[in-house]
Amino acid sequence: MLGKTLKALLVGTTVLAGASAANAETFRWAFQGDAQTLDPHGLFETFTLGFQGNVYEGLVKYNDEMKLVGALAESWENVEPTVWRFKLRPGVKFHNGNDFTAEDVVFSVNRLNTEGSDMKVVASLIKEAKAVDDLTVDIITPTPNPILPNQFEIFYIMDKQWAEENKATEATNVKGGDEGNHANLNANGTGPFIVKSRQSGVKTELTRNPDYWDKNMKSNITEAIFTPIAQDATRVAALISGNVDLAYPMPVQDWKRLESADGVKPLAGPEARTIFLGFDQLRDELTASNVKGKNPFKDVRVRKAFFQAINVDAIRDKVMRGASIPAGLMVAPQINGYSEAMNGRLPYDVEAAKKLMEEAGYADGFEVTMDCPNDRYVNDEQICQASAAMLARINVKVNLLAQTKSKYFGKVLAQNGYDTSFFLLGWTPSTFDSHNVISSLIACRGGEDKIGSFNLGGYCNPKINELTAKIQSETDQAKRQAMIDEVFKLHQDEVGHIPLHQQPLSWGVSDKVDVVQRPDNQFDLRYAVVKK
């Protein structure tokens, strides 16, 4: 009898042990860099915010199909043109057990405007946040804003009480002086994962939040370990050897290797990032060219000739291993405001390009320096090399200046007076809306409206600035789209930039896991599943 009980007990224990082992699902992943901070208002950067999104949550979020769905808010509506009302999800708790309430939302809005915050651009969308009751918040905007919920996707909510207890009521300041800022190294969100340990630049361990509000979450992961791996070769080896389950980005030239290796595969998809060329159309004389006393890029025929001289299909096939998508617009199909009908390109035609150059008085071409990053976009330097070779056919001699991103951006951006004559740049609108592209890249820079700050070539059509302001506040979607189309049409006719392609996302995944690849290159643990 005793023996039997003992045996039953033993069997019971074994079953239990077996069960818990089966439930423990560890997921390891690697990216080329680390999240720079755990402070959700410390840096407006894709990877950092994407990583934090596993721990913190905003009022809304994108689901696995990039549809905007409720996260901490259950519903929202534009009750007045300048008032968005968010109904908050009841019963949500932060990782430390505190209740999530409207007060936390108001606190987080105010935190966006503190000195160290890099999210002031989000703060500028908000005039005031008011807690109507515990679970209702009114966001008052300075002007009517139809896309505020989209712009809130990366605005994460922090617990007011936790921040006060840990003296983290202000965002982590890059300048320093607040070494103790608790929020930089610690996190207390409402998200599905809790930060268990973190050594910046080395390793971060997350464990599943057992009290997460969304009981239907797809992920079965109980423990997730993130390691930044900077070297491409090391990252590829880590994936193939099974030391990590997901690694990105993978060099596109390694896809074949990933396909032939056992147990892993490349995961490619179009990224919402458009790569384009631009030219200085503002200065009366180019800073880096042999043409003196005038600026050839002021002539639309020259810009058009450059456009028609570049063979994007060849760049796709030879440089991008067939994985880029040639683009005619400055926005990708995933971006709100994209129009398929307008995505056509001027045909590749060297003869036509030569003729245009001749008409413009540059039959013998000219010399110009091209600025290009060599570690920022997928095969960026090779794209520039290929473009330079193609432009040689219309007698333009391109002196390529390809540099590391810190040097490249240090040269061409506003702080250095836009010191470039011809350049390659890439852009993903952080709001996933065309307005961001128009106001950052296409609108005239240096005006009262303080927009166009990434319009490195100084392309300018004042009509576009007028339209930009209207697009910002137009709530009728059809009217808004018509205005966006009008801007893109003007920009295309004047060849303000040369859009090249959407670059591919390039991830490598183990066959043991299922993940969802988002076109903004974010990875969300909510949709990652370890297969049994």
What residues make contact with other proteins under the rule CB under 8 A? 33, 36-37, 39, 42-45, 118-121, 172-177, 179, 181, 184-185, 199-203, 227-231, 233-234, 237-238, 240-243, 375, 403-410, 413-416, 427, 430, 436, 440, 450, 453-454
Query: How many C-beta neighbours within 10 Å does residue 216 have?
Result: 4
DSSP 347: P
Nearer to other proteins, 67 or 450 (CB): 450
Nearer to other proteins, 112 or 394 (CB): 112
Q: How far is the CB of 347 from other proteins (least distance, A)?
A: 32
Q: How far is the CB of 409 from other proteins (least distance, A)?
A: 4
- At residue 353, what are phi and psi to the nearest 5 degrees? -65, -40
Q: How far is the CB of 445 from other proteins (least distance, A)?
A: 9
Q: How far is the CB of 262 from other proteins (least distance, A)?
A: 11
Q: Which helix (H) or strand (E) holds 17?
A: helix 2-23
Q: Which of 240, 294, 249, 245 is nearest to 268 (CA)?
A: 249
Q: How far is the CB of 128 from other proteins (least distance, A)?
A: 21
Q: Provide the residue type at 22 as one letter.
A: A
Q: Provide the residue type at 505 as one letter.
A: L
Q: How far is the CB of 425 from other proteins (least distance, A)?
A: 11
Q: How far is the CB of 238 from other proteins (least distance, A)?
A: 5
- Cα–Cα–Cα angle for 260, 265, 269, rounded to 5 degrees: 125
Nearer to other proteins, 118 or 280 (CB): 118
CA distance 523 to 520: 9
H helical segments located in 393-461 = 405-412, 434-437
DSSP 210: T
Q: How far is the CB of 37 from other proteins (least distance, A)?
A: 6
Nearer to other proteins, 196 or 318 (CB): 196
Nearer to other proteins, 273 or 526 (CB): 273
Q: How far is the CB of 448 from other proteins (least distance, A)?
A: 14
CA distance 256 to 48: 30
Q: Give the Å distances, CA to CA, from 229 to 33, 202, 306.
A: 7, 9, 39
Q: Are strands 422-427 and 26-31 parallel, antiparallel or unpaired?
A: unpaired
Residue 439 near residue 262, CB atoms below 8 Å:
no
Q: How far is the CB of 203 from other proteins (least distance, A)?
A: 8
Q: How far is the CB of 375 from other proteins (least distance, A)?
A: 8
Q: Which of 18, 79, 237, 50 is nearest to 156 (CA)?
A: 50
Nearer to other proteins, 91 or 176 (CB): 176
**Look-up of token digits 């009022």:** 59
CA distance 30 to 234: 10
- Percent helix, strand and coil across the chain, each rounded to 5? 35, 25, 45
Q: Give the Å distances, CA to CA, from 194 to 23, 197, 208, 245.
A: 18, 9, 6, 20
Q: Which of 466, 472, 479 is nearest to 436 (CA)?
A: 472
**Look-up of token digits 């979607």:** 477
Q: Which residues pair with 464 in a beta bridge?
A: none
Token reading at 210 = 């057992």
Q: How far is the CB of 376 from other proteins (least distance, A)?
A: 10
Nearer to other proteins, 8 or 414 (CB): 414
DSSP 124: T
Nearer to other proteins, 218 or 407 (CB): 407
CA distance 374 to 31: 18
H helical segments located in 112-251 = 120-123, 148-151, 160-165, 182-185, 232-240
Instruction: Please tell me whether residue 113 adopts helix, strand or coil conformation.
Output: coil
Nearer to other proteins, 450 or 532 (CB): 450
Nearer to other proteins, 81 or 242 (CB): 242
Q: How far is the CB of 231 from other proteins (least distance, A)?
A: 6
Nearer to other proteins, 240 or 302 (CB): 240
Query: How many C-beta neighbours within 10 Å does residue 124 have?
Result: 12
Nearer to other proteins, 228 or 333 (CB): 228
Residue 134 near residue 102, CB atoms below 8 Å:
yes
- Per DSSP (E only), the strands in 325-366 are 325-326
Nearer to other proteins, 419 or 466 (CB): 419
